[in-house]
Amino acid sequence: MFIIRFFKHSVDYPNYFEHTKEKGWKVFIFFILVSLISLFPMNLLIVQEDGWKLDFIEQSFIAETPDWQLPDDCRITANQFVCDTDTVYVYEHGDIKYIFNAKSDEYQDSNEKSIIFMANKIVYTNGEGAYMTGYDYNGFDESLSFRSLNLATGEDRDQMYEAFGASIETSFGNYIILYTLLVNIGTSIGLYAFFVLVMSLVIQLFRFGYSSFITFRQTMKMVVFAMGLPSIISFIVGFIEPTFAPVIFQFGIGIILMVVMLKYGKKTFK
């Protein structure tokens, strides 16, 4: 398979310039693969840490504790929202409407930011048609009685609402993790692609010392091949210090390209 062959190319420094004849689409696949390898430790950490926190719910409760008088006969227990009545309760805090004991999905079409508590799921809608759903109240590790929230006072009440906000956000964990992964992968690969372009431009400066030289497209392929070994090293380093892995990755590419150009460039071009 060409992937294995390309990894061999990545450490075949004397013949780097010959490998630039490989097909572009194959090199692009190799670029995506080595990028994902280098990003794996950080992506694993994102999954373990449940992604980036939404923060806007919890922080709004920290900034100002809601003055709600919630229905005493409602509670979140055993991964369900349970209420002894069919009444729908609506409260507001900040710029978000909180709807408790909703029985249908009609509130998802609201043109206001809303958090909707239903029997077995919690829904957030941004008021512009987009929404995300957390099933089975997974963010609530312990049962929560609204009566206890009503009876709490002072600092205890503040802490209980802060925990309530954090649990709401955690209920959307799957969406948050997916969004964080997509942003991290997309941003990082975009930066790596930009890095490939910059390094290719730098290498093209060497052409002024030779009568013949590789094209810009071939230079890009060479830079991608130089990503092979650093991706493996950054993969290993990433499990020790994830934030340091990208530095190792990019630094390793630069070192390899410098050695190849200075040691083998003169032997290949005249």
What integer pLDDT is reported at residue 110 of this predicted model? 67
Q: What does the mean pLDDT of the chain come to? A: 88
What integer pLDDT is reported at residue 59 of this predicted model? 87
Burial (Cβ within 10 Å: 0-12, 13-18, ≥19) of residue 238: buried
Question: How far is 26 from 19, CA to CA, in rounded Å?
Answer: 12
- Domain residue ranges of the chain, discontinuous segments joined by +: 2-47+177-268, 56-171
Question: Cβ distance 47 to 244 under 8 Å?
Answer: no
More confident: 109 or 163: 163
The two tokens of residue 31 are 């670029």
Among 120-124, 191-195, 206-210, 222-226, the least confident range: 206-210
What integer pLDDT is reported at residue 19 of this predicted model? 87
Mean pLDDT of 1-18: 88
What integer pLDDT is reported at residue 14 of this predicted model? 86
97-136 pLDDT, tens digit each: 999 998 876 666 667 889 999 999 999 888 877 788 888 9
**pLDDT class of 242 with cuts at 50, 70, 90:** confident
Q: Compute φ and ψ for 96, nearest 5 degrees.
A: -120, 135
40-91 pLDDT, tens digit each: 999 998 888 777 666 678 888 999 999 999 999 999 998 899 999 889 999 9
Question: Cβ distance 83 to 100 under 8 Å?
Answer: yes
3-state secondary structure of 23: coil
Host H or E run for residue 168:
helix 154-170
Question: How far is 23 from 250, CA to CA, in rounded Å?
Answer: 24
